A and B are shown apart, each in its own frame.
Chain A
Amino acid sequence: MATRIPTTLACLLLATAAQAEDLTIPTAIGDVTVASGPETIAVLDAAAIDTISALGVTVDAVPAMPPLSYLSDVFETAQPAGSLFEPDFEALAVLGPDLIIAGGRSSTQVEPLSEIAPTIDMTIWGEDMIAQAQDRIAAYGTIFKQEAMAAELSAALDARLADAVAAAEGQGEALILLTNGGNVSAYGDDSRFGWLHSALNLPEAYPDLTAETHGEAVSFEFIAEVNPDWILVIDRAAAIGQDGEAAAATLDNPLVASTTAAQEGQIIYLSSAPLYLAGGGVQSMMLTMDEIIAGFAD
């Protein structure tokens, strides 16, 4: 408490000095007006937590969700506010945030949440994920008055993207697979992982794959028939920590072994938690692109 009082005082001073102004920012459901410089914020979407904490802004409440190792200190200090799908309305009302940021899995809750505090839907989805992520970085920069930091992050993301595009160039076609136990689904360029194709200019090994939230269930024969040059693997079951091992066991079979990707050692196991849970967050995207750059470089 002793440390809390000076901070609160400082905040009050700052707040009166800076004076919150109304801003219009782009969100997933169009332009919305919010007050700038919110003090207490609840963030209910992993991608938003990722980007906002990258801007050096303290998040006060987060949903309980599977551990994302690179965000662990944010999750330790913030207080819990329900689950990813179902916010804890009472906890949020007690907290009395100045702004609630929802998105993705909690996007359906925007309206009820608006009763508690101004709520914005910052869902990031689909093909032009990088552009949306950049929009979000800029918007958060304006809201939290961290424009300089936001510009830096933006530039870093662009630079990393350029590296990734260069790494992927001329490498051939790729197939994105998500393993879940012994089963496999394939994802196309307009899916939740589609930016790996569209942003990196990485051609699809099977271009007919259409948008499906949970991918298309495929057989190993399908993988063998498509015969991709590269396979990008996301292990759904490993969202609990141990990346890669179980997926490798699932894909260790003669049909997958017959593909170019397997024969050339071109199967990249991506860290599933950042990509699957916080896809669109700036740190998550940087991490994934690092893994892809490293994978293509080998």
Chain B
Amino acid sequence: MTLRFGIILALAALVVASLSIGAASLWSGGFDAAWLIAVSRFPRTAAALLTGAGLALAGVIMQQSVQNRLVEPGLTGTPEAATLGLLAVTLIAPGIVIFGKMTIAAASALAGTFGFLALSRFVPRHDPMLLPLVGIIYGGILGAVGLWFAWNADLLQFVGIAMLGDFSGVMQGRYELLWIIAALSGVLFLIADRITILGLGEDYARSLGLNYFQTQMLGLVIVAITVAVVVVTVGSMPFVGLIVPNLISRWRGDNIRANLWVVALTGAALVLASDILGRVVRYPYEIPAATIFAVFGAAVFLWLLYAPPRRKPQLDGNRRKPLLGRDRRKPQMDSNRKGAA
């Protein structure tokens, strides 16, 4: 209970901070506070929360689908495909309204991700590292094509800035696509158990009666749409999909249904905290949230790689699977682990 309470309290504090901190002063006359919050602060806060939650959840799905904890949603060629779409719009119709731009880039990102899914059917499944590797190569090729176009049109800097996750341009009318993430999260909560089974591997999953391919497809489509929407709205946010699921899994185990909300809220809180920090560090100028998160994320990632495991794996005799998605037991390994270490 304290955990749930703590996360929600921290999130609430961050939301209040985010609503009150910004380049324009909220209370000193110049602006109508309600208007400013409605036009700028609330959209920015919501965008950070949705991005964080969406990418963290996408990370869970990816890692379960390919049974590899070091996989990121960014490894499916999706960000690169989205960039290609953005570039195409910028070159062909630079004057198009921003919402149109986002829709075209999202469509292109989806197309890119389906390309990856099509490719993945030919990848042998016995080695889980193969798929992420194929993803890296595929993304690299798409990225190279984009880079070539950008280089020729002198848009390298444009691409660099568009790809760097940054909430400074977010406001009413510029982020609404992100609400798709909320809908996708709803779907994800419905199929959470299937995603858990997915993580057991194809043979187990099939013997448990799961339509493996269909479930994996559904999961990856959710990932694709989430990443596409984030990339075109705020840019790419590295590490979120990588470290948040790993942190939570380390802390609470792998019951997806029990963990989903923790993963979503933690991702949301961390991204919002990065954005707030980015607003404050060089006030009134901005540092992109992705830059802040990358510094933090890299440190956490190294810690995850080198720290000793928090729990013993499932061999633990008195471990009882929680039935209703609530694992309230405190981890009991601490004293043992210290002794062993």
Contact = CB atoms under 8 A, between A and B. Distances in A.
B284 interface: yes
Interface residues of A, number: 32
Interface of A: 65-66, 180-184, 216-222, 224-225, 227, 236-240, 242, 245-246, 248-250, 253-255, 258
Interface stretch (B94-102, B128-136, B263-271): B94-102
Nearest to A242: B94
Interface in B67-117: 86, 90-91, 94-98
A52 to B, nearest CB: 22
A249 B40 contact: no
A255 B171 contact: yes
A183 B341 CA distance: 50
17 contacts: A180-B161, A182-B162, A183-B166, A184-B169, A217-B166, A218-B284, A219-B23, A219-B169, A219-B286, A221-B22, A224-B31, A237-B90, A245-B95, A246-B95, A250-B98, A250-B169, A253-B174
A181 B25 contact: no
Given A66-B154, A182-B162, A220 B94 contact: no
Contacts of A220: 40, 168-169, 171
B30 interface: yes
A82 B279 CA distance: 40
B105 to A, nearest CB: 11
Contact of B285 (A181, A218, A227, A239): A218
Given A182-B98, A254-B171, 20 more contacts: A66-B153, A181-B161, A182-B162, A182-B169, A183-B161, A184-B169, A217-B168, A219-B22, A219-B169, A220-B40, A220-B171, A222-B286, A225-B30, A238-B94, A240-B94, A246-B95, A250-B169, A253-B171, A253-B173, A255-B40
A249 B100 CA distance: 11
Contacts of B97: 249
Report the 3 A-B pairs with minimum CB-CB distance, sorted nearest first.
A245-B95, A222-B23, A225-B24
Interface of B: 22-25, 30-31, 36, 39-40, 86, 90-91, 94-98, 153-155, 157-158, 161-162, 166, 168-169, 171-174, 279, 282, 284-288
Given A218-B284, A225-B284, A240-B154, A249 B171 contact: no
A224 B24 contact: yes
Contacts of A246: 90, 94-95
Contacts of A242: 94-95
A240 B92 CA distance: 11
A237 B168 contact: no
Nearest to B97: A249
Contact of B40 (A218, A221, A238): A221
Most buried by A among B36, B94, B158: B94
Contact of A237 (B158, B171, B288): B158
A236 B156 CA distance: 11
A16 B20 CA distance: 76
A46 B199 CA distance: 57
A254 B24 contact: no
Contacts of B90: 181, 237, 240, 246
Nearest to A277: B154
A238 B90 CA distance: 9
A236 B158 CA distance: 8
Contacts of A65: 154
A292 B288 CA distance: 32
Contacts of B96: 249
A216 B24 contact: no
Contacts of A221: 22-24, 36, 40
Contacts of B155: 237, 240
Nearest to B100: A249
Contacts of B161: 180-181, 183
A255 B39 contact: yes
Contact of A225 (B23, B91, B282): B23
Contacts of A238: 94
B102 to A, nearest CB: 9
Contacts of A66: 153-154
A196 B39 CA distance: 32
A33 to B, nearest CB: 36
A165 to B, nearest CB: 30
A216 B285 contact: yes
Contacts of B174: 182, 253
A4 to B, nearest CB: 33
A224 B168 CA distance: 13
B162 A218 contact: no
A240 B91 contact: yes
